[in-house]
Structure formats: C-alpha cells, structure tokens
Chain A
Amino acid sequence: MKQLTKALAALSMMGGLITGTQALAEPFKVGVCYDLSKAYTFATPQVSQAALDLAKLINMKGGIGGEPVEVIVRDHGNEPQRGIECYSRLSREGVFVFDTLSTPVSLAILPRAMQDERVLMQSLVGRGDAVDGTVFDWVYPAGPSYWGQVANDIGYIKQLHDGDLSDVKVGYIYFDYPFGQEPIEILQTLSEMEGFELLLYPVPLPGSDQSGAWSKMRRDKPDHVISWMLGGAHVVASKEMQRNRIPMEKYISVNWLNEVDIANIGTEAAIGLKRGTNVVGGPDVALRTEIISELYDKGQGSGPLVNTQDVYYNTGLAMHSIIFEAARRAEEMEGLPITAQSYKAGLESLENYDANGLMAPITLTAEDHGGGGKTRIEMWDGETWVPQTDWLAEYSDVVWDVVRESSSKYEQ
C-alpha cells in the first residue's frame, strides 16, 4: 500500500512536471483556416505551403524567443459555417491569430474575433474598411485594400500620361459581384477628380463568357483596361483581347494573377501584361532563396517545388512573415508567453517592414491596420516580372474617405 501511494505520488509529480514544461513550451500558433478544396484553391496550396515552410525555417533558426512556432492548417471549404467551426476549435486550443484567405469566411469570423479579442489577419480578402483600426481593433488586413490597389493603378496610369488624365479613357472589367464591384466607388471618385473617362464592363461569374464586354471595348477604345477577375477569367480575357486586336500592354490585372495563368495565356502571348502587386514577383527573392537552400535542397519542403515558383507563394511568404515578425516583436517587447494583447502591440510596432525586400514596406499603427496600402505595377516580359514603378500609395486621402464612410456604418 505504501509503495503504491509512493508510486502514485511520483507519478503525479511527473505528470505535473510534464504539464508544467508543456505550458512553458507552448508554441506560438497560427490558425490557418483556408479553403483548400473549393473556390480559393487557385491560391491556397501555395500560400499554406509558404506558411508551413516559413514556420520550419524559423524553427530551424531557434524559433521565437527560443520557443518553436506552429502553423495549423485546416480546410473550411469556403463555407462560413465550417470557418466558424475551425475558428472556435482552434481558439480553444489557445490560438489567437487567424488567417482565412476567404472573404465569406473572414466576414463570418470577424464579429466573433472582435468580441473574443483575437487577431484576425485578412490580407487581400474580407472587408476593405477593416484597415480602419479605430473601428476594427482586432482585424489586420496588413496589406493593400482593393480600394488602395485600384487607386495605385490610376496613379500609375497618371504617371504614364505625365500627370494629365483629362482625355484618357480607362476601362474597368470586373466580376459582377462584390469582389469586382468594390473598387468602382473609388474609380468614380477619381474619374471626377482627374477628369478621365471611366468605362465599366461587368462580366458574369465565373468569367468564362466575356465576348460582349470585349467587343464593346473594341468600339470604345479605352487606353487602359483595369481587370478585377481571377484565375481562368484572365485566360478568357487574353483570348478575347487577341480576337478584338487589343494589345496586351493595356491590361492591368488585380494582384490575383499568377504564373499558372501566364502559362495558360502563353508565356509569349502574355508579354506586356501588367499586374498590381504588393509582393515582389519572381523566384529571386532572398527569403525564398533561403527556404530553397535550407529546406527544399535537403528534401524537407512542405510541398512540391513547383508551387514555390509561383507568385502566390511569395504572397504567402509575405502574409506570414508579417504574422511571425509581429510575434517576434511581441516577444522582444513583453516576453513569453505571447498573448493576444502583446501580439497586437507587436503588430502595431511594425514600421516599414518589408520582409527583407519581399514586399511593399508596411507600417501598422493603431489607426491604420492596412500598413499604408502600398502596391506597385509589374509587367510580364516573357520570363519574369519587371517592376514598372516604385511602391506607390496614391490618393490616400480619397481612399481613407471611403474607408471611414464605410467603417462608420459597421457599428450602427
């Protein structure tokens, strides 16, 4: 009997020790609830692979403050209900930083994250007015909103025309649902301000039929075409442009255009095509080179190598570099364990952070959760992306007017 009690006591002590050390070694976790099976699969494999690779690289270098980091990837199939389930489940496991890479799911999680005081990262998706940190304290778009991006596109066109847009025609071809409709407001405001003529060409989802829009465009002869479409729709657009003899140089795409689309258009046929972007395109960025030599050359990559040659991989690296850099700052400033509060402070201490030349520098503050909204225009030259401008943040005041007008309605 005595022996038994002794053994039990020893066991419970050991148990205490184990749980004790576990509490200490609790890694910094990122909840990556992505749509890996439905609508967003054009980008999620590359982005989640980038997240996993980045976490591996950080752990190889000793983690954050000596503790390892962990990326938990789950599929939500672009269904708000399953996104909420993923969020609630991971929240219970102590995750307080989430990324969804899906607008419907991001919208569905947002009210909960705000109430539970958990950080919702939503680079490139979700509601654009979330850059207003005074209203959305726990939501960090940390990158350009579509409003900012389209304003920068106009800024670039203005550069091309030496600052005078008075007799310029800008065509805007877009998916006729909220994703594509979002920038119209800014375009109309800028059209009044700068005096260019704005021509709208809505395209029904999924963008496989655009013949009407492009033949109308042939008659209207816009000088530039800004395109707010995704994936295969770019390929359809390029075919229609060839048919209507509209040169590729006129096409300025939203950031959602990658090497797969280029290959489908044809690497030669795509020469001259432009895209707005907040990350550097092409495989020659320092962070990716490091990941290739440290992980992929040793056979430890988190997925196929070809995914890393995609601009969405760079996008993923950029998004998750911000997430981990903020954790590092939080650890430096307030030590371990990182809490939601200290993490938020870490995010808001980021100043001109560009992940070693990977992306547009961002500066997050308590008011501006977008980080400045800088993007640039890159052109496909047949082999790689060639930057056409510096990092731009044009018409910030116009963009912020629209942001504040929209965010003020949230609480009502």
Chain B
Amino acid sequence: MFYRLSGVHHADYVSDTRIFKLPADRNLAAFIFLFGLVAPFIIPSLYLNSYILPWLIWTAAALGLNLVTGWAGQLHLGYAAVMAVGAYSAIHAARFGIPWEFALIIGGLSSSVIGSLFAFAALRVKGLYLALTTLAMQFVMDWVLTHSPAITGGSHASLQSPTLALLGQDITSDAGYYYVAFGWCVLVTIFMLNLKRTGLGRALVAVREKDFAAAILGVNSFYYKILAFATSSFIAGVSGALLIATFFFLAAPEQFSVNVSIQVLAMVIVGGLGSVIGSYFGVALILLVPGLVNGLVVAGSAGLGTQINVETLAHIPNAVYGALIVVVLLIEPLGLGKLYGNIRDYLMVWPFDQLRK
C-alpha cells in the first residue's frame, strides 16, 4: 500500500539501474532531504548542534568505513587514526593560511596517502591478521600524536581550529555548521548509493565474497582493496576535519583514540555491513543513544522522586545501552539496516502479503 508496486515497470536498463526504483523510496528520500534542508528552522539549536550535527558527520565517516569493511570486506580497526590524519593536516593547512576548501581536500588526500600506505603493508595479510595490523596503525598514530607537539599543538596536545570559511563566507552560526555537515553527509551518501551501480562497486563486492574467485574473473583484488582503502581514507580525512571545524573547534588526540575506532566499527556493524541507511541508524544508536538514555533515566528518577546515587544513575544507561546493542543484533544479526529492510519488504505487499503464501 505504502510502496505501491503496480504500474512500476522497468522496460530498459536505464530505468532498471536507478538508485530508487520505487516511487515511494524516491519520495521518502526527497522528503528526508527537504526536511534536512529546513531543519535549522524547525529544530531547536540544542538538538541541531548537539545531536544532529555530530550524527551527520559521524554518518559520513561511518559510510567511509562501510566502504572498506562492508563493501570490500576488509576489517579496519584503525579508522579513527585515519580521521586524525585528515583532521590535523586540514587544521594545520588552514592555520597556515590555505583556504578551507583546499585545506579539507589536503586533509582528505593526506589521509588517503597514509591510509593506503598502511594498506600496502596491511593487505599482505587477511582476515583477523589484517584487523590486527590496522589496530597497530591506530597505536602508531596514537603514539605519534602524543609525542609530536609540533603536530598536536604544544604540551597540552590541543590544537585550536581557525574559523571555518567556505566560498568566502565565514561560517560561525549554528545553521551554518549544520549545513556544512549536512552537505558533506549528502555528498558521501550519494557517492555510496551510486557505488553499487558502478564497476568499482561490483568489483569490491566480488573481492569481498572471495578474493581469489574475483581474481579468476579478472578483478585485480589487491588493486581494488587499495582503492577501497584510499577512497574510504579520503572520506575519513574530510569527515575528521569537518568534525573538528564544525563541532569540536579544537583537536585533541583523545578524539581519535582507539576506542573511537572501535566505536565507528560498532556503528557500521550494528547498522549493517554494506547498508547505507543502516549506517545512519547505526551511528544514531552508538553515538546518540547513550546520551538520550542518560537523559531519560535522569528525568525518570527525578520524576519518580527517587534518591538514586549519582554513580548508579550513571551506570544504568550504560547497561541499557549495552543491552540494546545485544537485542538489536539478536533480533537481526545483519543490523539495523536489514531491520528497516524487513519492515519495508513487509509493507511492500501489505495488506496483500497472504497472496504470496
């Protein structure tokens, strides 16, 4: 009913390879896009800047990791380190006086270079060994950051980001920051949606499924793995730089430490490997739910008038949040994206689904 299928025919290849084959999907995407455009006028600034903005940037970052982990099937435990490279190079470039547009690209490219350099070494091994090698990359980067005051900005290891300016406009308002994050997230999303329609996307999937089978098909798996690492590192770098420029305003090594890497990986896995919409859900769950549950528990205990020790109060949300992840993965091991897919598939034929049985 909601996803009316009648009258939807794909009579040629162009129509069959559209991103959104159903009008309902297309309309939903258009609606969400329009909502995103007017969000600053509807949503109070607290929610816009403390929840939605980091959500969008982390989604862009998670999509980048999804490219390498979900599409190309390579486990990556050093993603935050790659983001750090981008963030620090972009900020240093901007502090040096280079316009932000180029600084962001410099950030992305330097991430790309370092990310693929590591991939060269790391890709000689597979599976868990690759995961460990990328983890090593994270630790090397942590060490470099905490031991190079020239990069991280003196003995406090905090580096102030200059005011963001794009296309000659200083960006200082909440709405401005939001639009920058929104724009970047939309760009990455469009790229990822199109990926599966390209030869690159198909090659990556072939590599993921079985790399030597892909080689027999004439797909150079090493080349495509490197390409996946380089592309995802570029996305990571720009996302890292934007995270600092629009949200933290100041870079510190803790913002890109090993637990952040694991968090991003959790976002991708909980959201669903290889799922674009899943990344949005996964980031929401991992990034926003702890804070929201915390708020709910505090409000709930205040509402009930109970005297709970502040320490206990802080640990309840953690337990709830952990349970939530377990429950999601128990219900649907393929992640939140698949969960959404199931609901969509059900609604596609509802109320006539019994006809199929």
Contacts and interface: CB of A to CB of B under 8 A. Distances in A.
Which one of A45, A48, A73, A108 has the greatest number of beta carbons of chain B within 10 Å? A108
Contact of B315 (A37, A84, A111): A37
B296 to A, nearest CB: 13
Interface stretch (B5-13, B25-33, B156-164, B326-334): B156-164
Contact of B309 (A85, A129, A176, A303): A303
A36 B314 contact: yes
Contacts of B290: 77, 79, 82
A185 interface: yes
A112 B249 contact: yes
B336 to A, nearest CB: 20
Contact of A88 (B49, B160, B249): B49
A185 B51 contact: no
Contact of B155 (A44, A111, A182, A412): A182
B317 interface: yes
Contacts of A49: 310
B50 A178 contact: no
A73 B314 CA distance: 10
Given A37-B315, A81-B287, A85-B51, A409 B157 contact: no
A319 interface: no
B282 interface: no
B298 interface: yes
A239 interface: no
B23 interface: no
A52 B315 CA distance: 18
Task: Determine chain A's interface SS by DSSP, over half rule.
Answer: helix
Given A127-B158, A406-B155, A80 B50 contact: no
A74 interface: yes
Interface residues of A, number: 45
A104 B154 contact: no
A331 B311 CA distance: 32
Nearest to B317: A75
A6 interface: no
Contacts of A79: 290
A37 B51 contact: no
Contacts of B146: 176-178, 181
A218 interface: no
Nearest to A204: B143
A378 to B, nearest CB: 26
B252 interface: yes
Nearest to B294: A75
Interface string B174-188: 000000000000000
A2 B36 CA distance: 47
Given A36-B311, A128-B156, A178-B155, A89 B46 contact: yes
A387 B69 CA distance: 58
B313 A75 contact: yes
B222 interface: no
A405 to B, nearest CB: 9
Nearest to B243: A81
A92 B46 contact: yes
Given A45-B311, A127-B156, A81 B54 contact: yes
A37 B309 CA distance: 13
Interface residues of B, number: 38
A410 B158 CA distance: 9
B160 A89 contact: no
Given A82-B291, A84-B247, A89 B50 contact: yes
A135 B54 CA distance: 28
B254 interface: yes
B249 to A, nearest CB: 4
Contact of A178 (B157, B248, B255, B317): B157
Contacts of A48: 310-311
B250 A84 contact: no
Given A75-B294, A111-B249, A80 B254 contact: yes
Contacts of A409: 153-154
B158 A107 contact: yes
B253 interface: yes
Interface in B260-307: 287, 290-291, 294-295, 298
A75 B298 CA distance: 10
A155 B294 CA distance: 45
A71 to B, nearest CB: 10
Nearest to B260: A79
B202 interface: no
A84 B294 contact: no
A72 to B, nearest CB: 9
A185 B155 contact: yes
Interface in B135-169: 146-147, 152-158, 160
Contacts of B255: 80, 104, 108
Contacts of A45: 310-311
A48 B298 CA distance: 15
Nearest to B156: A127
B298 A108 contact: no
B126 to A, nearest CB: 29
Interface string A178-198: 100110110000000000000
A110 B111 CA distance: 27
Given A409-B153, A410-B160, A88 B50 contact: yes
Nearest to A130: B156
Contacts of B196: none
A73 B313 CA distance: 10
A80 B253 CA distance: 11
Given A37-B314, A176-B146, A177-B146, A74 B294 contact: yes
7 contacts: A37-B315, A49-B310, A77-B314, A81-B291, A129-B156, A178-B152, A412-B160
Given A82-B294, A107-B252, A303-B310, 9 more contacts: A36-B314, A81-B54, A81-B291, A84-B50, A107-B156, A107-B250, A127-B158, A178-B152, A412-B160
**Ranked 4 nearest A-B pairs via Cβ:** A75-B314, A36-B314, A111-B249, A104-B254
